[in-house]
Amino acid sequence: MDRIRIVGGNTLTGTIPISGAKNAALPLMIAALLTDETLTLTNVPHLADVEQLIRILGNHGVDYSVNGKRDHQNGSNGYTRTLNFTARDIVDTTAPYDLVSKMRASFWVVGPLLARMGEARVSLPGGCAIGTRPVDLFIDGLQALGAEIDVDNGYVLAKAKNRLRGNRYVFPKVSVGATHVLMMAASLARGETVLENAAREPEVVNLAECLNAMGAKISGAGTGTITIEGVENLYGANVAVIPDRIETGTYAMAVAMTGGDVLLEGARGDLLENALDVIGRTGAEITQTNSGLRVKRNGAGISPVDITTEPFPGFPTDLQAQFMGLMTMAKGKSHITETIFENRFMHVQELARLGARISLSGQTAIVDGVSRLKGAPVMATDLRASVSLVIAGLAAEGETTVNRVYHLDRGFERLEQKLSGCGAQIERISA
C-alpha cells in the first residue's frame, strides 16, 4: 500500500496549478444520464473517485472517451483533461451495492434515472467514516415530485410512471447532495419545481450552469431558492468544471503553515471568500491576480483563529481538518467547531502523534498551539483528515510518513508533485 514520506522544514515557493473540483465534476458526470446526446466536460481532475464514477456510469450503459494533454508551460506541469459522456441507451437502471458502497455520490444517479427512465433501483450507500449522511432528504424530495418509493433489501426502489411532477419542496436542512439530485430530477419533470432552503455551494451553481447549457430552465442557483421549469428533453453540451476551492484552501493553508510565496494558478477567490478571510487572519497575505491567488507568509508566527463550519458561504467542513493542522502551531489557543458532520475529528489522535495539543469538548476541538511538531508515522482516516497530516508534516521536524494515502488519491490530484515543485521534501513510496 502506498504511503507518503515528508521531511519537514522547507518553505514553499513557486506555482501550484489548481485542478478541477471533484465535488463539481461528480454531479456533472451524473447529469450525462439525463440526455442521449454527448456531454463534454473540460478541466476534469484525474482522481480515484472520478474513475470509480466512470465505472458506475458504464454499468448503466454510458459510453465515454478521454482526451488530455500535459501542459509544461510556465513551469506548472499542469494536466488538462476532457471527458465525453454519451448515455444514448440506458441499459440498466440498477446501481448495485458493490459499486455504490465504494462512493456515496454514486447514489445520486437515482434522480436522473428516475426522471429519464421512470424508474431506478439504487443501493443505499451504507455507512461513512465521518458520519451516517442519511438519504432521507433525497427520498422525501423525490416523493414530493411524485415518485413512488420503497426501500427493500437495502435498495431504494423508485418509480414515476407518468413522469415526475413539479412541486415546491422545502429542505428541512441544507444538503448539497439532495439539492443536486432534485435539481437534476426536476429538469425533466412536468411543470415548475421550487426548491427552498437549497444548498448555495459553487458546485450547485456549476451543475445548474451545466443543466441550462443542456436545455434546462433553472434560475436562482447560488441562492436559497432554486426554480426549475421542467422541459421535455435535454441535449448535449460542453461545460467546464470549476476550480477546486477545497484544494485551493488546502494549499493556501500549507503556505500559511510553512511560510513562502506561492501562486495558486487558476484559483478563484470568490469560491471561498470566508475561508480565505480566515487564513488571512492567521497571518498569511492573499491576493487575487489575473493568474490565480497569490499566498505569502513571511517569518512571522501563526495567529490563532476560532472557526465554526457552516454551509456555503460559511467556512467549509471540507477544510476543517486542514485548518486544525495549521492551528497546531499557532501562537495561542483556537476553537474549531464542527456543525456539519459527526465523527469528523478522527484526525485529532494522529495530529497528537506529531506533538499537537488538542482536546475535544462535544463538537468543538480546542487546539493549544505548540512551537514545534516532530515527525512520526501517522495514518489517514478519511480524505480531508489525510491532507491535514500532510500540512502538519510539512512543518514538523524530521520525517513524517502518512499511511493509507488512497484516501488522498480520492480528492487530490498529484499532491506530492505539486508540493515538491514548490520546494517541499515529499515523495510517494509504493509498497
- Residues labelled as active-site residues: 128
Task: Give the three-state DSSP class for 410.
Answer: coil
Asked if omega into 316 is within 30° of 0 (cis), the reply is no
- The answer on whether 91 is annotated among ligand-binding residues is no
C-alpha 283/C-alpha 188 separation (Å) is 49
Of 4, 418, 3, 29, nearest to 241 (Cα)? 29
**In the 3-class helix/strand/coil scheme, how is 15-34 assigned residue by residue?**
EEECCECHHHHHHHHHHHHH
- Answer for the pair 106, 48: CB distance below 8 angstroms, yes or no: no
- The answer on whether 134 is annotated among ligand-binding residues is yes
- The answer on whether 175 is annotated among ligand-binding residues is yes
- Integer CA distances (angstroms), 252 to 184, 198, 318, 345, in order: 33, 29, 14, 21
- The answer on whether 305 is annotated among ligand-binding residues is no
- The answer on whether 367 is annotated among ligand-binding residues is no
The residue type of 214 is M
- Answer for the pair 413, 47: CB distance below 8 angstroms, yes or no: yes
C-alpha 202/C-alpha 224 separation (Å) is 12
- The answer on whether 123 is annotated among ligand-binding residues is no
Beta strands 94-95; 333-337: pairing state = unpaired
- The answer on whether 318 is annotated among ligand-binding residues is yes
- For residue 414, what is its C-alpha cell? 498529484
- The answer on whether 176 is annotated among ligand-binding residues is yes
CA-based max dimension of the chain? 65
- Integer CA distances (angstroms), 20 to 31, 39, 126, in order: 17, 17, 27
| Helices (H), ranges, 234-377 | 245-258, 273-281, 320-327, 347-353
Sheet-wide strand order for 292-297:
12-17, 260-265, 292-297, 285-288
- The answer on whether 174 is annotated among ligand-binding residues is yes
- For residue 295, what is its C-alpha cell? 499566498
- The answer on whether 76 is annotated among ligand-binding residues is no
- The answer on whether 104 is annotated among ligand-binding residues is yes
Q: With 0-12 CB in 10 A as exposed, 13-18 as middle and 19+ as buried, what is 84?
A: middle
- The answer on whether 135 is annotated among ligand-binding residues is yes
> Binding site for UDP-N-acetyl-alpha-D-glucosamine, residues?
104, 133-137, 173-176, 318, 340
> Binding site for phosphoenolpyruvate, residues?
22-23
> Binding site, residues?
22-23, 104, 133-137, 173-176, 318, 340
